[in-house]
Structure 1
Amino acid sequence: MDKMHKEEAVKTTYHEDTTSTDGSSTAEYDPWNPPYPPCPPAVGLSLSDSIRLVAKWSREKEAAIGAIRASSIIFPDRIPKEVNHVFYDRVHHLAPILDKDSVRRFLRFFRGNGAGMQWGSIITPEALNHMIAQNAVKCVKAALEGQAPELDGCRAGPNCMNQYGYYPLHRAAELFSVDMIQLLIRHGASANLRTAGAEVIEGLLPLHVAVENTCMHKYLEDSLFPNHEHRDYSEADAHFIFKLIHLLCLPEMKIFLDSTRLIAKHTDNLLDELWNYIKDGKLAETAVLLLAAQEQIRMGTSCKKIGNSKADGFQVIYKCIMDNSIKLQSEKGQNLMEKEELETKIKLRHTAMMLVHVISKAGEGLESYIRNHLEAPHFMQVPCLEVLERVSSILKDHGFSPAPECVDIRNLCPYHDVLSSEEIPRKPGESVADREALEMDYLRTVVNKISKP
């Protein structure tokens, strides 16, 4: 993470508080160690009453501190490694509970194994991370609310960084779980916190995770970048743009665009993030964000780098690309050593300008079509011909007529290594029932593989 991102992270993590327990001014408020009132004096009380008073004060103090920790931004992770080690020793018992998303069994497990799942009256970020990873929405909801008696006042914090340097919303974005993303945001998760630390790519927002993981989908990589290891946008043109749009309108892409749309709705300075993708020449990422977040872009959003404009964001971005293209053109005449690189950048700006223009005109029709998709299972045959005809029709209605041969998406292969029913090895003496069970297990394996693009 660069210096600016680190400074922003610190600013969002801590906030000023002018008072302390003794009334003096404090320069910085630490949500992990917030001020709390001292124990009231036990004047005139018996020994037993004094003990009860101290015990009551201690419980209330721990509950108050835990509530503050769970509702604040905690950066970095402050859970002792030993606590996480205890959790790792027991997590294999928790996994089947989370698979079934059984709140009752989760609470019972927590009561007996809380030592590895809690610290300082909060459910540890690592425990929450595992719950999100298994998409146990009901269990996560119970952990965020912290109301169940079995939790004994413990709660999970939606903005507590884990030991690897990312937050719960980053994990949910990675898994494209719309229900989990909605749940976290509803309980106060911020979409504007960035990753930090040596074990993660620094400076990533949840939005970046959603957008860039979407662009790793097999359909995009196979169709746009046959050589996965060397992405090259330098040859991108109108054909590239129209094929990219058709691919993003496939039913299988709906969940990725839905997740990105939801996160973008809560991300500040959205146009800045869009401009960064355009400036870096990342056309697929630009298309994903333009298509998924077009409602916010049309409304106009404040942004730091390219002006606090409330105008239509498509117009703002379009003008920004034009100004940058003019600047690159002038530099090309002055610097012959970098002429080829500058020409590539100029071409990418022109292609990005076309992409912005197409989605600004046809985006609402495309989004309506995408939102009406059914949640098609990945292993079902994709109605590519229907998508091709419908998307081409929407584009044509707005003045764009891509050549059919340039946007052909009928030969998509969801995955490479699927065996036919006849090719699955049959064991000696295997019954028909055993065979069907084997095929269903294999199908589940395939679905799990391709659901993580």
Structure 2
Amino acid sequence: MRANPNYMTSLGYFPLHRTAQTFSADMVKILLRHGALANLRTSGERIIEGLLPLHVAIEDTCQHKYLEDNLLADESYRKGYVEYIYKLIHLLCLPEMKIFLDTIRLLAAHTDNVVDELWNYIEHGEIVPAAILLLAAQRRFRKLNGFDTIKNRIDDSIFSMIREGCGLQIGKYTKAAKQRKEKELRFYNALFLVRILLKSGEALDAYIQTHSEASSYQEVHGKVSAILQNYDVGPLGKGICVEELKWFDFFLPSASMVAIRLYIS
């Protein structure tokens, strides 16, 4: 009918934003096929400005009952416990999450600067949307060398914080020290997440695409755990904190390790 797929509504969003909200992968495909642009952002006083369709899909996925009920009240992430990361990955691999990940994967494939969008989540400590985007679009990140880019950015940020901390006389229990500690832990959590999905992401994605909708949580947990163990990124034990792991080689490149140790010494 020659309708304009990039027509802004009176509320300041576009058809693709609405479709992202309904998680209809088939409708996303139709709109993209007919010229819808995934890089258009919301605009106007009646809506949150600057949102891509990708943002809408990710943020609405974060509000899924399974994620909200199991993660919102979990404070272990703030303490750096990696069990939070494993719980998040297991939840995202549940059959009910597939339709959300499929929609996000499609949108991410047509979104420019998707690596920067991932970095924005990580930089602001938003581990859940970062995990959703990284798992859904991990194939594209591999093509864009996105894993290395993100790891390098995290590495640079951690190195900068450590160097800054060494150069400042900050009391252990001051507000500034606490904030720097929390930010550092968020980066280590993100780095741990990136490592897990770098090694096991393709296998997890293959499992998500093929497992039955009738799979129980226990079955999913067992199969996902087996995949993680097979790629040597499985749970290391309940209560382990990223702070205890942060000097391992898989967290920081060897060059940065040497530089940090030389700086400290």
TM-score, normalised by the number of residues in structure 2? 0.84
Alignment partners' CA distance in 1, 2:5 and 2:76 = 38
Would you say the 8 A contact 1:332–1:343 is kept in 2?
Answer: no
Aligned residues: 234
Query: What are the within-5 Å matches in structure 2 for residues 17-28 of structure 1?
Result: none
42, 66, 69: which is aligned to 1:195?
A: 42
State the 1:185 CA deviation.
Answer: 0.4
Distance 1:164-1:335 versus aligned 2 partners, 3 A rule: farther
Distance 1:199-1:382 versus aligned 2 partners, 3 A rule: farther
Q: Does 2:117 correspond to 1:273?
A: yes
Q: Does 2:234 correspond to 1:401?
A: yes
State the 1:403 CA deviation.
Answer: 6.1
State the 1:342 CA deviation.
Answer: 1.0
162, 185, 194: which is aligned to 1:356?
A: 194
TM-score, normalised by the number of residues in structure 1? 0.50
Q: Provide the aligned C-alpha RMSD in A.
A: 1.9
Distance 1:179-1:247 versus aligned 2 partners, 3 A rule: same
Query: What are the within-5 Å matches in structure 2 for residues 97-116 of structure 1?
Result: none
Alignment partners' CA distance in 2, 1:405 and 1:330 = 31
Aligned to 1:51: none
Aligned to 2:134: 290
Deviations 1:261-306 (A, max 9, x none): 0000000001000000000000011100110001110001xxxxxx
Aligned to 1:313: 146
Alignment partners' CA distance in 2, 1:321 and 1:335 = 24
Alignment partners' CA distance in 2, 1:390 and 1:232 = 24
Would you say the 8 A contact 1:220–1:247 is kept in 2?
Answer: yes
Alignment partners' CA distance in 2, 1:236 and 1:209 = 28
Aligned to 2:156: 323
Unmatched 5+ stretches in structure 2: 240-265
Q: Which has the higher contact order (CA 8 A, sep 6+)?
A: 2
Q: Does 2:183 correspond to 1:388?
A: no
Aligned to 2:208: 370
Larger Rg belongs to: 1
Structure number having the greater helix percentage: 2
Q: Percent identity?
A: 48
State the 1:235 CA deviation.
Answer: 2.6
State the 1:237 CA deviation.
Answer: 2.3
Q: Which runs of 4+ in 1 moved over 3 A?
A: 403-406
In the alignment, residue 186 of structure 1 is paired with which amino acid? Answer: R
State the 1:170 CA deviation.
Answer: 0.5
Unmatched 5+ stretches in structure 1: 1-145, 147-154, 301-311, 407-453
36, 46, 61: which is aligned to 1:214?
A: 61
In the alignment, residue 361 of structure 1 is paired with which amino acid? Answer: K
